[in-house]
Structure 1
Amino acid sequence: MNFDNNKPIYIQIIEDIKKKLIRGDIKLGDKMTSQRELAKEIKVNPNTVQRAYREMESMGLVKTLRGQGTFITEEIDTLKEIKNDMASEVLIKFIQDMRSLGFEDDEMISLIKEYQQKL
């Protein structure tokens, strides 16, 4: 994982897990890597991973079962909400950046259609 110095690492860990869930790399109900294993894997302090897991649990993204581990939620509505929230963040940033460059809404839409055809 490549970390951005402008954002706390625990938030980046959460965002990475959300992206993996949205892409289907991890599934609803999947068991999470243990906190220590993940910390070792991504080379961060275990306390940072612990904070990420704690935040995800308070968000309802994961559930910890004593003696069994931490599991991704099985709630499909939570997945839909995460997907919509992340899409909104990306779109808002895109629109703000394009407007700061002087683009009007209709110009943005034209550019999106043009580049979409190229992909």
Structure 2
Amino acid sequence: MVTINKSGNKAYYEQLVLGIKEDILQGILQPGDRIPSVREMAKQLLMNPNTVSKAYKVLEAEQVLVTVKGKGTFVRDSGTLPRNEMRIQQLREQFDDLVVEARHLQVTSQEIIDWVQASEEKLGGHGE
């Protein structure tokens, strides 16, 4: 389940967004699963409800979650959605920036590959 590093560099809402995506990739959350309400999640994680709401809105915009009025917020079945090419391009640009930073710090290409593989293994090997 999602955890928030209160002393980390990443904004809390970003940690929550990534945490929910990671739970989906690891099979902890399945399509159709109801996730806690904003208030419930805020209470569980000891966070401000506005922060949780912001994360949920980001996840809805990215079509990860869907909110059904009066019923709750659910994990969307991503298998039925087309690839979001615009978001993939943004991700590619972020990745390129990270590679520049890593190489500037004298991280080798093999180390970067090892990092990617370790991340894939952590997520249960969902890579191709």
Q: TM-score, normalising length from structure 1?
A: 0.69
The structure in which a higher percent of residues are helix is: 1
> Amino acid of the residue matched to residue 22 of structure 2?
K
Partner of 2:103: 99
Q: Distance in 1 between matches of 2:107 and 2:44?
A: 42
Q: Distance in 1 between matches of 2:48 and 2:100?
A: 35
Partner of 1:68: 71
For the aligned residues, what is the CA RMSD? 3.3
> Amino acid of the residue matched to residue 67 of structure 1?
G
CA 1:104–1:48 in structure 2 vs 1: closer, same or farther (change >3 Å)?
Answer: closer
Give the deviation of 1:3 after TM superposition.
Answer: 3.2
Q: Is the 8 A contact 1:62 1:72 kept in 2?
A: yes
Q: Distance in 2 between matches of 1:103 and 1:15?
A: 24
Q: TM-score, normalising length from structure 2?
A: 0.65
CA 1:103–1:46 in structure 2 vs 1: closer, same or farther (change >3 Å)?
Answer: closer
Give the deviation of 1:96 after TM superposition.
Answer: 4.8
CA 1:63–1:40 in structure 2 vs 1: closer, same or farther (change >3 Å)?
Answer: same
